[in-house]
Amino acid sequence: MAARQAKAEKTGKKPRGRGPQAPKSGPNKKDQVNLTDEDSRIMPSSGKDFDQSYNAQAAVDIDSMLIVESHVSQKTNDKQEILPALENLDSLPEKLGVVDTLVADAGYFSKDNVNICNRNGMEPLIATGRKQHNQTYQDRFCQPEPLAEDTDSVSRMRHRLKTEEGRQLYAKRKCTVEPVFGIIKQVMRFRQFLLRGFESVQGEWNLVAMAWNLKRMFALSR
């Protein structure tokens, strides 16, 4: 309200639209709670449907296809999951190595996430939107023009994604993390959480990640 009033006094114009309303204590008439699992949230599913769900996240090593980070979130937007993933990666033993590049799809793109990766010493390769199929020869293989030195972080990442090396590295996302989720769902038959409550669901997802890693390590050792 104070900011709204200050803007009106500065511009000499009455603010448009309805004024902000003070929050009310207690539940509203349309508020809902899930009596089976109050920690879960209503999230969009396939098509236009909605389910009572959690948001399961996993970070996969490109070379080994092992899950190196897994967590569950109550947020529907993946943009908010980069920071907790990096915090979990920072807690891993140093002998496992250092993450130098983070590859993610457009659902994780935001300027803040790009800057978070840079501050953590990682190069972000996060798609900024969907690419059209059947690109021309020039679009597929041309190299972008050099960048100016004062280019912002998002523009630098976009430029990197247009280079041949950047395109090849980003393309590995589809053959690493996507198959992991696909095999967990279709082969391991894990399609829903059986436990209730946030902490229990987090533990269940950790077990799934460990089961995948055991299967994967067995395959790598053959």
Tell me the per-residue pLDDT of 165-205, one tens digit each, with 9 for 90 and over: 998 999 999 999 999 999 999 999 999 999 999 999 999 99
Query: Rounded CA gap, 158 and 144, in Å?
Result: 10
Does 46 have pLDDT greater than 80? no
- Find all residues with CB under 8 Å of 92, minimum gap 6, and list them: 68, 69
pLDDT at 80: 94
Does 17 have pLDDT greater than 70? yes
pLDDT at 129: 83
Domains of the chain: 54-221 (3.30.420)
Query: Rounded CA gap, 190 and 208, in Å?
Result: 8
pLDDT at 132: 67
* Concatenated DSSP letters of 11-34: H-SPPPSPPPPPP-SS--TT----
The interaxial angle of helices 153-162 and 164-171, nearest 10 deg, is 90
| Amino acid, single-letter form, for residue 24 | K
Cα dist from 54 to 30, 42, 46, 180, 211, whole Å: 21, 8, 14, 18, 20
Asked if 130 and 106 count as a contact pair (C-beta separation under 8 A), the reply is yes
Q: Which contacts of 174-181 are long-range, i.e. CB under 8 A and separated by 24 or more positions?
A: 176/60, 176/61, 176/62, 176/65, 177/58, 177/59, 177/60, 179/65, 180/58, 180/60, 180/65, 180/67, 180/212, 181/58
**Tens digits of per-residue pLDDT, 112-149?**
999 999 999 999 999 998 776 666 766 676 778 888 88
Confidence of residue 75 (pLDDT cuts 50, 70, 90): very high
